[in-house]
Amino acid sequence: MPFPYKHILLVGATAGIGRAMADRFVETGVKVTAVGRRQERLDDFVRQHGEDKASGIAFDITDSKKIPEFVESVIKSFPEIDCIFFNAGIQNTYDWSDPAKLDLDKFNNEINVNFTSFVTLTHAFLPFLINKPDPTSIIFTGSNIAIVPGAPLPAYSASKAALNVFVLCLREHLQKTNVKIIEVSPPPVQTELHDYMGEERGRALGMPLDAFTNEAHQGLLAGKDQIIVGSIGPADIFNEIIDKRRTAFDNLAKMFRSH
Ligand SMILES: NC(=O)c1ccc[n+]([C@@H]2O[C@H](COP(=O)([O-])OP(=O)(O)OC[C@H]3O[C@@H](n4cnc5c(N)ncnc54)[C@H](OP(=O)(O)O)[C@@H]3O)[C@@H](O)[C@H]2O)c1
């Protein structure tokens, strides 16, 4: 099945999963407008693919006051965008046994990047997507750690769990609209995300990026709305938890619908 969307705004496209997915989309005939803070990497992306297929906008998604202006300018410059891919993310470790040493601003900023900023951006982009005559979608990059939290990563795990719950509810709210809500849930993947461990160790952690990109892209082409790659612990148990929780969620949503 071909990918049904023609122009993607990919937020967090300057490195790792975002850059690899952006390259894959362009190579398969989908236009990409890349977003990230690092202008030189956006320029590199546009140089590689050409201005007819690729464009870049430098933006820091934590700059919440500028989100309305950012969204307005995206819609004005690229009214044909029909898919928004929220992929940006950061990860750090924290130890709550010594609160005096804990950097609370850093902790809250991580939740802002990974969760709150996407809520604000979704709110700002939704009227534009809903009012389009054709099918549109929002893709979120979650994490398998949303389901089984990693103890040294409380901000990351909590933000991805919150994002996963938001995505489930959002999908239910939009079921009668033209906006499809898709979640891609990666296992550890070899990117810059774990650079806090040291570049050499961090970038060797997890699944090779190309293998992940293949699997995630296949899931999108298959039209899935929840693409789980890999697992935490045995795959059968992990997938059973996810499937049973989704069924329980859907049953509860049906009950709410009938009231
Ligand atoms: N790699 C893994 O093991 C793994 C596992 C599960 C889920 N994920 C998720 O996959 C997604 C991509 O991560 P990755 O592994 O590819 O990490 P990465 O290589 O570090 O890339 C992170 C991306 O997020 C962007 N970003 C970070 N802060 C931003 C901000 N304030 N404003 C705008 N863009 C921002 C970065 O761009 P700039 O720095 O240029 O702004 C970069 O493009 C994240 O949501 C991550 O949580 C990754």
Q: Minimal CA–CA distance to 89: which of 18, 34, 149?
A: 18
Question: Does 44 contact ligand 1 (Cβ within 6 A)?
Answer: no
Query: Mean pLDDT over residues 168-174, rounded?
Result: 98
pLDDT 10s digits, 188-236: 999 999 999 999 999 999 999 999 999 999 999 999 999 999 999 999 9
N-term to C-term CA, the chain: 37
Q: What is the pLDDT of the chain when averaged over all its residues?
A: 97
Query: Mean pLDDT over residues 80-92, rounded?
Result: 98
Question: Does 20 contact ligand 1 (Cβ within 6 A)?
Answer: no
What is the distance in A from the centroid of ligand 1 to the CA of 193? 6
DSSP alpha helix (H) spans, the chain: 16-27, 39-49, 67-77, 104-111, 117-130, 154-173, 199-202, 209-221, 235-257
Give nearest CA residue, ligand 1 atom 32: 60
pLDDT 10s digits, 16-28: 999 999 999 999 9
52: which 2 tokens?
Answer: 């007819």
Question: Does 36 contact ligand 1 (Cβ within 6 A)?
Answer: yes
Question: Does 219 contact ligand 1 (Cβ within 6 A)?
Answer: no
What pLDDT score was predicted for residue 239? Answer: 97
At 36, give phi and psi (nearest 5°): 180, 175
pLDDT 10s digits, 234-248: 999 999 999 999 999
HSE of 151 in the Cβ direction (CA atoms, 13 Å)?
Answer: 3
Where does the pLDDT of residue 119 fall: very low under 50, low under 70, confident under 90, or very high at 90 and above? very high
What is the distance in A from the centroid of ligand 1 to the CA of 72? 24
Query: Mean pLDDT over residues 172-182, rounded?
Result: 98
Question: Does 229 contact ligand 1 (Cβ within 6 A)?
Answer: no
Element (H, E) at 181: strand 179-185
What is the residue whose two structure tokens read 């906008």? 57
Question: Does 245 contact ligand 1 (Cβ within 6 A)?
Answer: no
What pLDDT score was predicted for residue 2? Answer: 82
What is the residue whose two structure tokens read 């806090």? 196
At 227, give phi and psi (nearest 5°): -115, 105
Question: Does 143 contact ligand 1 (Cβ within 6 A)?
Answer: yes
The number of the ligand 1 atom at minimal distance from the alpha carbon of 37 is 41
Would the pLDDT of 1 be above 90? no
pLDDT 10s digits, 26-79: 999 999 999 999 999 999 999 999 999 999 999 999 999 999 999 999 999 999
104: which 2 tokens?
Answer: 């609370």
pLDDT 10s digits, 208-219: 999 999 999 999
Domains of the chain: 7-257 (3.40.50.720)
184, with CB counted inside 10 A (0-12, 13-18, 19+), is buried
Question: Does 88 contact ligand 1 (Cβ within 6 A)?
Answer: yes
Alpha-carbon distance values, 229 to 8, 153, 205, 226 (Å): 21, 20, 15, 10
pLDDT 10s digits, 148-167: 999 999 999 999 999 999 99
What is the distance in A from the centroid of ligand 1 to the CA of 21? 12
Alpha-carbon distance values, 169 to 116, 150, 165 (Å): 15, 24, 6
| Percent residues over pLDDT 70 in the chain | 100
